[in-house]
Structure 1
Amino acid sequence: MSNQIKAAVLEELNGEFKLETLNLAPELAPHEVKIHIVASGICHTDEAVRNGQGGDYPFPGVVGHEGSGIIEEIGTAVRSCKPGDHVILCYDYDGYCKNCLNGRPAACLNWNALNMEGVNGDGGTPFSKLDGTPVHNFFNQSAFSTETIVDDRNITVIDDDIDLRKVGPLGCGFVTGSGTVFNGLKPEVGSSLVIFGTGAVGLGALMAGKISGCSKLICVDVVPSRLETAKEIGADYTINSKEEDAVARIREITGGGADYAIDTTGISPVMQQAFDSLTSGGKVAPLAVTRHEFKIEHPFADLTAYEKSVIGVLMGDAVPQKSIPQLIEFWKDGKFPFDKLEKFYKFDEINQANADSASGKVIKPVLIIDEDYTV
């Protein structure tokens, strides 16, 4: 008989999250792990699935991909973890394609199939309704649930004295922002970095830029409270693009243009501003999950003649089992204070938490799914 769990289900495009009782598969495949979820961050990618900006998704489904929890059971082939281990969940990857073997699992050739199509690597889903209707998963994780089943590659084991309520967002938003700096752009000490959008990804990039030794860290947004937060955690300059010309101000601050730029908004004019703010030889990384267009209309005049680069960086090009522990060490040293950006919500407040994230009211909402958990 299947185990019954509680999960936040999306029934249809633009629907609200509904807490439902679901069946969880009773048996594990050899490579699978059963997780008791303690908490999960809410990411804009979850909202992008809900509203369609993230592309087609096979509803009904359980999203959530910034989960943290405790291992309950492991499959017979699992060697990387054991029951009782405390873990942070991240994306899945196959581990055997050429990119995985070259140390770039975020560029896994099967990444989309494993994370975005609503089924696991075996083509199934661990969730079903009480009448047997399949319910699709997400990131092979589906952390908006009291329990879930993942692949052992989804898991990073952490010390059990770390508060699991805080660290789930290290598995997506913060590792994406920081990894884009550390692994994608790789800014030189003393270089300038401008970040458009000061949500979790943007502020993760800001903290990483500070660690990397950038001398001019510039944040652009339209929400004054977020710009103030950016100042508090390391921005040298902030620009409210509702009140002034962001590109002109960036050129003034940097003496001609920024060496590196990141866009986290996914808004076409803002992505263009990020590109236009670059100096000759500069690099920009557009990161948002969006269907909005970014065009380079005159490649020679706008791109080649100035030796600018536009680079794609997925999940910060991070190896989760390496990057997440590194971020925890930076956090312990006071260099990556991501928890200052979090606000906790109860599981049944998920729709309010998601709305607060989408509106910009809260930078990183975190659902406390197990309210009995203590460190």
Structure 2
Amino acid sequence: MKSVLVTGPGGVAVVDVPTPTVGPTDVLVRMRACGVCGSDSFYIARGGIPPREGATPIGHEPAGEVVEVGSEVSGLTVGDHVVINPIASRSALIGSGGPQGALSEYLLVEDAELGRSLAIIPAQVPWEVAALNEPMAVARHAVNRTAPKAGDKVVVFGAGPIGLGAAIGYKLSGAASVVVVDVIPSRLEKALAVGADAVINSAEEDVYARLVEIQGAGATAMGAPRAGTDIYLDAAGVPAVIDTALKAAKQGATLGVVGVHKHPVPIDFQAILASEVTIVTSMGYPTEIFEVTSEIADHWEKFAVIVSHTFPFSEVEQALTTASIPGAADKVVVTFD
């Protein structure tokens, strides 16, 4: 079979490798789609994934079709459409340092267990949408970490795939108002398409003033005026987001951080104290990997908006290049014939 390997700093190659052999507790999945993550670009740029040495397989956002089932595996049959948990085996992460990557024609799910290592997704969900399962689990975990309540007013900073997924998650959790902030008009259009109640272009508008206009007024413990927003989610990883949120936060507001900050960010503890802000961070998806599968199945048309580009596996190198260029794409998915 063919598989994509990182061969060195900035280098990738499609190479022939042995098709995996299925053991009694394993399942072989024919890949039908795999999303490209920002971490894939990072792995390529640095030439691999420590501590693994040599050629490194990549791809950890898989969706595919079961083609062989081990004799001891239950609940799965040939032909099932599935999404896969790439971190189910902590010792052999798929596409992130383990011996397999999902940018391959086939993927072996070792010690396959329905509901732990893979889940069935309805056949009506397009493959490129099913491949969103892993990043949408990241978004759902961010939502869960901020503990939204029905009726909450939420603002999401960053309308990339995680921010858009979080916007969907907040609406499904009962938020009364979800506002999405970004500087790219096309992404703000997508935010409205997935169900955001309003958007703010922070390059052109005063975010605080618009939040007060949209979500009403609040106050600090000492009565200083603030926005009525209950939850702020940083899905952008930009220092200005933290500053803006803390200056706008009312008493008891929550600030969640899922965006990756590449450098230390100064924090105004006076603003935190004045508003008694709760700050939570979010990483990965401890329990959400298949929680989000049913949400995608039920609302796949909304999730489909997140995909901006699809490339056939024959053009996988172009897909990786496109995904690595800032602003060139929102979500790139590689599909397999």
**Gap runs ≥5 in structure 2:** 218-225
**Counterpart position of 2:200:** 239
Matches of 1:213 and 1:117, distance apart in 2: 34
Q: Does 1:292 align with 2:263?
A: yes
Contact 2:159 2:191 in 1 (8 A): yes
Does structure 2 conserve the Cα–Cα contact (< 8 Å) formed by 1:178 and 1:206?
no
Q: 1:355 to 1:284 in 2, by over 3 A?
A: farther
Q: Whole-Å Cα distance in 1 between the matches of residues 32 and 213 of structure 2?
A: 47
Q: 1:194 aligns with which of 141, 155, 160?
A: 155
Task: Determine the C-alpha separation between the residues in 2 that align with 1:275 and 1:80.
Answer: 48
Give the drift of 1:179. 4.0
- Residue type at the aligned position of 1:285: G
Q: Give the match's secondary structure for 1:337.
A: helix
**Quick one: distance in 1 between partners of 2:302 and 2:37?**
18
Q: Is the 8 A contact 1:265 1:271 kept in 2?
A: no
**Unmatched 5+ stretches in structure 1:** 95-110, 120-124, 126-136, 371-375
> Which residue number corresponds to residue 47 of structure 1?
41
Counterpart check, 1:279 vs 2:250: yes
Partner of 2:303: 338
Distance 1:214 1:180 in 2: 14
How many Å separate the matches in 1 of 2:263 and 2:26? 36
Q: Deviations over 1:77-134 (max 9, x none)?
A: 433423332211233236xxxxxxxxxxxxxxxx587468613xxxxx2xxxxxxxxx
Q: State how far apart, in whole Å, the 2-side matches of 1:238 and 1:160 are.
A: 33
- 2:280 equivalent in structure 1: 311
Instruction: Return the TM-score normalized by structure 2.
Output: 0.82
The alignment's TM-score, normalised by the length of structure 1, stands at: 0.74
Q: Which secondary structure does the structure 2 equivalent of 1:46 belong to?
A: helix
1:193 CA drift (Å) = 0.9
Shift of 1:328: 0.9
- Provide the identity percentage: 27
CA distance in 1, matches of 2:279, 2:331: 27
Whether the 8 Å contact between 2:57 and 2:95 is mirrored in structure 1 is no
> In structure 1, what is the equivalent of residue 104 of structure 2?
145
Amino acid at match of 2:97: G
Q: 1:22 — aligned with what?
A: 17
Distance in 1 (alpha carbons) for counterparts of 2:131 and 2:86: 12
Compared CA separation, residues 275 and 61, structure 1 to 2 (3 A) = farther
> Aligned equivalents of 2:246 and 2:320: distance in 1?
30
- Residue 280 and residue 357 in structure 1: after superposition, are their counterparts in 2 closer, same or farther (change >3 A)? farther
Query: Separation in 2 of the partners of 1:292 and 1:57?
Result: 23
The secondary structure found in structure 2 opposite 1:315 is: coil
Q: Matched residue of 1:244: which SS? A: coil
Cα distance 1:194–1:308, how it changes in 2: closer, same or farther (>3 A)? same
Q: Is the 8 A contact 2:59 2:95 kept in 1?
A: no
Q: Matched residues in 1 for 2:55 and 2:242: separation?
A: 32
Count matched residues: 320
How far apart, CA to CA, are the structure 1 residues paired with 2:249 and 2:51? 35
How far apart are the structure 1 equivalents of 2:256 and 2:322? 26
CA contact (8 A) 1:16 1:351 kept: no
Match of 1:160 among 110, 123, 131: 123
One-letter amino acid of the counterpart of residue 106, structure 2: E
CA offsets 1:15-62 (integer angstroms, 9 cap, x no match):
14322222344x34554322110111222232233345x984635212
2:97 aligned with 1:118: yes
1:84 to 1:165, Cα distance in 2 relative to 1, 3 A? same
- Does the CA contact (< 8 Å) of 2:49 and 2:56 recur in 1? no
Partner of 1:223: 184
Counterpart-to-counterpart distance in 2, 1:73 and 1:202: 36
How much is the aligned-residue C-alpha RMSD, in angstroms? 2.9
With over 3 angstroms needed to count, the CA separation of the structure-2 counterparts of 1:155 and 1:194, relative to structure 1, is same
2:135 counterpart letter in structure 1? G
Cα distance, 1:147 vs. partner? Answer: 0.9
